[in-house]
Amino acid sequence: MRLPFGRTRPMTISSIEAESSTTHFVHTDVVNWVLLEQHGQLTLIDGGYPGQADQVIESIERIGRSAEDIRGALLTHAHVDHVGGLARLQARFGFDVYMDHVEVDHALRRHLQQANALNLAPQAVNPRLWSWLMKTVPLGVLDRSGLAEASSFPADRHEPLDLPGAPVPVSSPGHTDGHSAYLVAGGRALVSGDALVSDHELSRFTGPQCIPSLFQHDEPTARRSVERFTDLDADILLPGHGPIHRGSVAAAAREALAR
């Protein structure tokens, strides 16, 4: 049965070449994910909404690989638009999904740190809320299920992980308690998840910004995480929402904090 709205969102892929790996940033108008490709194997970072699992596969095919090439996946945080597609792909292809140890219980849905109807109610007069819901309800925004299995990183999170592309976790709690960003492309690019975005459906402006308050679990802590991004040398921002942002990540973080 086909749903009344399209499940496949418009998609663009930006590729960044590093010494021995390629980082592919997959941007859709509702959420983004990232593929790290090295020696024919892949690390998938986040996986879109539940209804985007097939679109993740399509993005992998567009870069000339197949879902069987996924050696492992990383999660920035366990909100439905990042974990939903990943859960379906994990069930189908059986790879491990790694995250900050604090995020594991959230990913397994032992608790939920996600905006609910009460948080959204004050936005009821905002036409952007309704256009966002029109797009995201068919993709499964109301789905409350999580991963069947979730693994935490090894204890020293500042070391590159033993996965294609050697991503380095950057702890960035606040948006959720166990949110993690990742330095990729040899430290040139930051996969920032929802700690720092370049646009959002409910935002009134574009450019580097913190995600709208109603989606933040702990806003003061989230802002402190963005403050720590000002110490980074990366010059490409690969956010969870909004387009790729080329330019100093530290400057982008300062811009977001100043808004």
Binding site for Zn ion (CB under 5 A): 79, 194
Nearest residue (CB) to Zn ion, 100 versus 194: 194
Could you give the residue ranges of the DSSP H alpha helices within the chain? 53-62, 80-93, 104-107, 117-120, 127-136, 219-229, 249-258
Nearest residue (CB) to Zn ion, 21 versus 176: 176
- Alpha-carbon distance of 259 to 255, in angstroms, equals 7
Q: How far is the CB of 59 from Zn ion (least distance, A)?
A: 20
Asked whether 234 and 249 are in contact (CB, 8 A), the reply is yes
- Alpha-carbon distance of 90 to 97, in angstroms, equals 8
Q: Which two tokens stand for residue 22?
A: 């390629």
Nearest residue (CB) to Zn ion, 166 versus 195: 195
Nearest residue (CB) to Zn ion, 44 versus 141: 141
Nearest residue (CB) to Zn ion, 217 versus 245: 217
- Alpha-carbon distance of 203 to 211, in angstroms, equals 8
Q: How far is the CB of 36 from Zn ion (least distance, A)?
A: 21
Closest by Cα among 178, 174, 258 to 224: 174
- Alpha-carbon distance of 129 to 106, in angstroms, equals 25
Q: Would you tell me the crossing angle of helices 80-93 and 53-62 to the nearest 10 degrees?
A: 70
Q: How far is the CB of 32 from Zn ion (least distance, A)?
A: 12
